[in-house]
Every structure is written in C-alpha cells, then in structure tokens.
Amino acid sequence: MDGTLSIRPFAEADRGPVKALWLGCGLVVPYNDPDADIDLAAGRENSDILLGILPDGRVAATAMVGHDGHRGWLYYVAVDPAYRDTGFGRIMVRAGEDWLRARSIRKAQLLIRETNTAVRAFYERIGWSESPRTVMERWL
C-alpha cells in the first residue's frame, strides 16, 4: 500500500476526520483538547499537522510535527486501524523527519505514554532508539 498514501498538510475541512482518527487510535486523553492542539499546531511556521491521504481523499494517517529552534518533535503519529501494518506509520514518521530536516533540525524526538508499550517496537523497527534522558515537566 506504500505508494497509495500521499502527504499534505492539514486544512480546516480535515478537522472532523482527524479528530475521529485520533479518537479511534486512542490518542485523545482528558488533559489534551484535540481542537486546541490542532489550533496551536496546524499551519504554523514552526509546526504543522501532516496528513496521509488515500487515493479517494480520505485521511488514513497523521503526524503532528514541530520544533523549538533546537529539537524537533513528533506527536499524534496515528494510522487508521484498517490500514495498519501496510507501511503507513513509517511513511508518516519519515514525512515528519523530512519536515524537520528541511528546517535544519538535526534530532527528532517523541514521547511514548507509559501505557502504550506496544508502539515502542514500531519505532525501533523504523530506526528510532530510546533517549538516555529524563524528561521533566510542569503544567503552565
């Protein structure tokens, strides 16, 4: 299926399908409002939401990408369950990496929730490794 997915940035008409995809992939949690996340990230100079589009125009996959001037980050890497294991996840991560590379960002990072143990093997399979860092946080 690899050749059947095209990449384009989020447009407003995609909001409903994108939120439905995130919900269906278990990526929507009470402490993150997907609408607010879309509003803050889509189409910005330092961030965007990349969509994987099927030939019929439907959204099958997403990757939110952004950088802070130093590191790049991926969020909301998601593939419609109906299209898993066909290479779409890899395509979306590569698209995010390319987006960052094009902006001279040298390292990409992402966070895996502690409850999402299955996904770790996916990232390792496509060339990522665990970062030997401790991530600190504070809600603002």
Ligand X SMILES: CC(C)(COP(=O)(O)OP(=O)(O)OC[C@H]1O[C@@H](n2cnc3c(N)ncnc32)[C@H](O)[C@@H]1OP(=O)(O)O)[C@@H](O)C(=O)NCCC(=O)NCCS
Q: Is 86 in the site for ligand X (CB under 6 A)?
A: yes
Closest residue to ligand X, Cβ-based? 89
Among 7, 25, 28, 53, binds ligand X (CB under 6 A): 25
Find the DSSP H helices in the chain.
Answer: 15-24, 34-41, 88-101, 119-125
Per the CB < 8 A criterion, the answer to whether 46 and 68 are in contact is yes
Per the CB < 8 A criterion, the answer to whether 44 and 58 are in contact is no
Q: Which is nearer to ligand X, 30 or 45 (CB)?
A: 30
Q: Which is nearer to ligand X, 64 or 105 (CB)?
A: 64
Q: Is 108 in the site for ligand X (CB under 6 A)?
A: no
